Structure formats: structure tokens, C-alpha cells
A and B are shown apart, each in its own frame.
Chain A
């Protein structure tokens, strides 16, 4: 039997009316939580929304989210072979799923 990581991911566009969806991801030692989320988009549901750009280098600083209640970068948080809860940042305006409005207002369109 292959080892899996179980990701419980918060989904929705309204903070008061979201839902948790559960996905199984094959676990390989050394993977990041971002690797797991990218796996979900390719193999389970391409509509899952999250921000990322540099994938691996922790240079773009886009993939910040709440992982088991802690605010972390998904690209440097290790995936683990257990249930992990992934939610959007609580202190930023929600856009969709794990995406929040993280840019300073002066760097937004119309800002």
C-alpha cells in the first residue's frame, strides 16, 4: 500500500459559506504542501485555486496560507503522511479557495 497525505482543503468564495474538501495525495518524502496542492489540480480538480509562482525557491512569497492553523508558505512547509488542514489566510480578504488579497492596495488594479 502506498502512503498518502490527506489534505482537507477549505473551498469557497464566501468566508461564511465555505466547505472542506478532502483529497488523497501519494506521499513522497521531501515533498512540499505546494507539491500536494499542484497534484490535486492535475489529478483531482483543476478548479482548486491557490497562488503560486516560483514553485520551489520561496522567492515569490505568493503561497502563504494556513496549514494546520499556522501561517506558512506552502512551498517550504513539508507534506506529511497524515491529515493536514489547509485554509486561506484569515486576516486577508478572501478571493476564492486558498487565494486571498495579499498585494498592497497601491499594487492592485484601481488601487
Chain B
């Protein structure tokens, strides 16, 4: 006999507890709402925020004169014509306020002579990026927000809750059904407003820079609940992810801040600089935008001039031990523990999946098309167009989180009770009560999907590989079936994998299908069979589910609100 589902009720439900989710929870609670913040892992430790070791772009004007309009210009330029101007503007305009609030909460932005230090990152016209030493930006932001959440009354926290589906009643979202992982029980979370803050989809790829819980689940939840996704073909690859030697206890994107501070040289197999071959001579400075760097490295490897493990070398051998220690202090010892001495040997780096520009379609209130459903952070599509400017991810998490919290509170305060209908939960609670018939190896299936996405839906695409990927996704979807693997017991990893795969396969299909349709190259989406950028493709692709089938249509760019 299965247990009856448990129930919980709240004004605002926040799904995810990275920077976006935590800021949303704080803001909604400050507006007087009760908040339930659910996370499938530990509260405030999973997701992408805690992994960010790098910088946060914001027009503070602490280093040199700056204005959010300059930041916006750079964001729009990096977005290669596809930015939703209103969302980009919100990110840049509200960034300074959020960064200062975190400063007041004691995050510890690096300072020099009392002033916040701002570094210049690729794609920015001036020094604009704040950070926390050493390589500690993400953990410091997470910790600061966790402390702020704990100080704010009205926020309940629930880790180990894996949201399976949103509940829909009378055309609006009435909360969500979750699997309580430690017990295997179903839980109905009734809410007046629901915020998806689940981050991106980098787990779809074999090599990635984020946590294993970033499998695009928020996108799948939104799609199944009737919301739309945009720009799903634009997956950002981080060009210089760590490849070799095996490095443990460190984040694979750690070389970015090294390059901000110390330059560093990208070299091929023959220890020669090569980026000039692809139109950009960067020497030992770090000026190359991410899409261009990914292109140069991939092409150099394809030409047979890569490093032994299929990447290129990144060398700091021209810098002294004193320079390295001055810039990164204790990190140099952590590298030594991994057998790496940067003054003697280069490391190998290669592009890895890092961030998703696409996401849930929302307006500048962070409201989706479905009443009661809001979205925050990386889960939002459109602010970064076809290519995200470095440093915009944490800013986006903070600004969009705060905004979503505000908007959700406005809705919740205007409602007396959540839209409650027991039927809204039934399909999902029935699904979770099922036992699997046969045995499938769900962990192996996740790996197979990651290999397909890495090989055939990476930064460089063509119709042949994308079609092959869609066939592989079909096959995996068929294999997965419609009854969850495992059983409704305590911490059943196969059941979790099954629920993850259900989301991952839907999202992977959306990415591959959108990439196949877009017959041009732009930003992070490079079609080798359609190399040019075309004016007629300066449109968003909008994905929705219609009768269980994925539907794609083109829509004009929402560029308004920039000029005002």
C-alpha cells in the first residue's frame, strides 16, 4: 500500500535555491508572503551559483566612470541581435542595487583602498566585473544569501524535494507535486504563485561546468504546464574548461579568473599561438569573446593541431611564481596538491557546456504566459540573446530573482486561497505511485544522452548530426517508457534518474529541434552547413507543447523598452 500524498500550503512556492531562488524567496517574504523554497538537493548548495568562481558584471562605476546603459550596449552587442531588450535592460539597470545589497549583507566583494575592484572581462568596454577572492565568488554569494534567507521570517526551506510536475487548475498554476526523496512519498505543494528558479541545462552534456542537478528540469516543468520556451538552440560553451591533468576539488571553469588577472597564452600542439588564424590575435591578453574562442579551439583541434587529450594548451609559464601567488594565493597550493606547477607546465583546456541563453518566455515582471507561474535566473530566456556576455549570469540570477519574488508576492497578496483542486495533482501522484515493470539502466541512459548531445548538438552543428541526435533522443524516449523505474521507496536513484530523463529528453529534443530549424549561424549556434548570419533569422524561436507534441514557431524580437 502506498502512503497518501502529503500536503503543504504557501503563498509563494520557489523551486530551486541558487542565487535566483534565494533572492526571490527573500523578496517575496519581505513583501509579507509566506514562502516555501524547495530544492532537490541541499538548500543553497546545488545548482550553478555555488560553482561560479568568477566575476559579476555590474555598472557600479567604482573603478572607472560607468552607466547601466554602457553595460546594456555591451550585453545587446554580445547577444548578436536576439536580446529581449526589456529583460536585458532590467538586468543592467537593477544590477547595481542588487550588488550593493549583497555588499551590505557582507558578501565581501574584493576591494582596493576601500573601493570595490572591477576587472575588465571580454566583451565589456571598461572594467565592470566584481568578484570575491580567491575564486570564491559563487560560494560567497551562496553563503551570503543563505544567511539572509535564515534571517528573513516567513521562509520555510525543504531540501530533498524533487518537483515532478506543476499543478494546473482553472487555467492557472496551483503549485507543484514533488517527490520527497528520502521517503519516496508524494507531496502536494499548494501555492498562489510559483517561481521556477532551477537554472539551466548543462547536465545534458558530457562535459559541463555545473552541478548534476542542472538537467533543464525547470524548462520541462514549464513546457508541460503550458508555458513557452525561447531561444533553446543557444547553449553557451565555455571555451577553456579544464581538461587535463585530472583536477579534483576544483571547478573546471577556474581558468577564467586566472586569465582576467594574469593573461595566459592559448597554444596549440606545437606550443604556438593560433587564435590569429581565426581572425583574432589576442596574444597574452584575454580579449576573445566566448563564441570566437570556442570556434578557434575547436577548429585547431579538428585541424590535428590540438593537445594530446583533444584540447589546446593554456600556459602561464611566462608569469613568475610571485605573480601567481599574488593573484591566487592558496589556490596555487591546491593546484600543487593536484601535481600542477603553472610556472613549469601548461594545462590542457577545451570547450565545455556552461550556460543556457534560452529559457522560459517571460515578461519583465518575470511572469510567464500561464497565470501564477513566474521564472527567475538562468531559467529565464531572452536577456542574453544568442551569446551571453561574461559576468551577466550572477547579475541575472540576483536581479531576476528579486523581480520574480516581487511579482509573485503581488499575485499572492491578491488571492485569498490557492486554487485548490485535488484533481490537479492526480496525474502526477498516480505516476509516482507506480512500480517499474522491467529493469532499465537509467544511469547508463543519462550517459548515453550526454554523449549524443556532446557529439551531435555541441557548438558546431549540421543537419546530419542534428537529425542523428533527434533519432537517438527518440530511441531513448521509447526505452524510458511511461512508467517510472525503481519504486516509491527511500532515496531510489533509479526513480530519480527516470524523472530526470523524462525532463532531460524533452529539453534535449527542444534544443536539437530548434537547432535544426535555425538554418544560419549566430552566436553560440554555429551551423557548419549554414555558416552565415541571416537577417531573416533575426527572430526568436518559440517552443510549446501542443497535444503532447513539440511545436516551434518564429516570433519577432521583443526589442522594445530599450530606448525609453
Q: Which residues does A use to contact B, with CB under 8 Å?
A: 13, 28-32, 38, 41-43, 46-49, 51-62, 75-76, 78, 95-97, 99, 101-103, 106-111
Contacts and interface: CB of A to CB of B under 8 A. Distances in A.
B45 A75 contact: no
A42 B211 contact: no
A31 B248 CA distance: 8
A14 to B, nearest CB: 11
Interface residues on B, range: 35 or more
Contact of B41 (A38, A57, A60, A106): A60
A96 B490 contact: yes
A97 B489 CA distance: 13
19 contacts: A42-B447, A54-B51, A54-B251, A55-B211, A58-B248, A58-B249, A59-B139, A62-B46, A75-B248, A96-B489, A96-B490, A101-B182, A102-B42, A103-B42, A103-B43, A103-B160, A108-B159, A109-B6, A109-B8
Interface stretch (B275-283, B408-416, B491-499, B534-542): B491-499
Interface of B: 6, 8, 38, 41-43, 45-46, 50-51, 138-139, 157-161, 180, 182, 187, 211-213, 245-252, 338, 441-444, 447, 486, 489-494, 497
Contacts of B158: 107-111
A99 B491 CA distance: 8
A62 to B, nearest CB: 6
A13 B487 CA distance: 14
Given A60-B41, A75-B248, A46 B211 contact: no
Main secondary structure of the interface of B (DSSP, over half): loop
Contacts of A47: 486, 492-494
Nearest to B248: A32
A60 B40 CA distance: 12
Nearest to B150: A106
Given A55-B212, A59-B50, A59-B138, A30 B45 contact: no
Decide if the interface of chain A is mainly helix, strand, loop or mixed: loop
A54 B492 contact: no
B254 to A, nearest CB: 9
Nearest to A109: B158
Nearest to B337: A76
Nearest to A73: B249
Given A13-B490, A47-B493, A49-B491, A62 B249 contact: no
Nearest to B339: A30
B499 to A, nearest CB: 14
Contacts of B442: 46
A24 B490 CA distance: 26
Contacts of B211: 53-55, 59-60
Contacts of A38: 443
Contacts of B42: 53, 60-62, 102-103, 107
Contacts of B8: 109
Given A42-B444, A46-B443, A107-B158, A56 B252 contact: yes
B45 A61 contact: yes
A58 B138 CA distance: 12
B160 A109 contact: yes
> Which residue, A31, A41, A53, has most C-beta atoms of chain B within 10 A?
A53
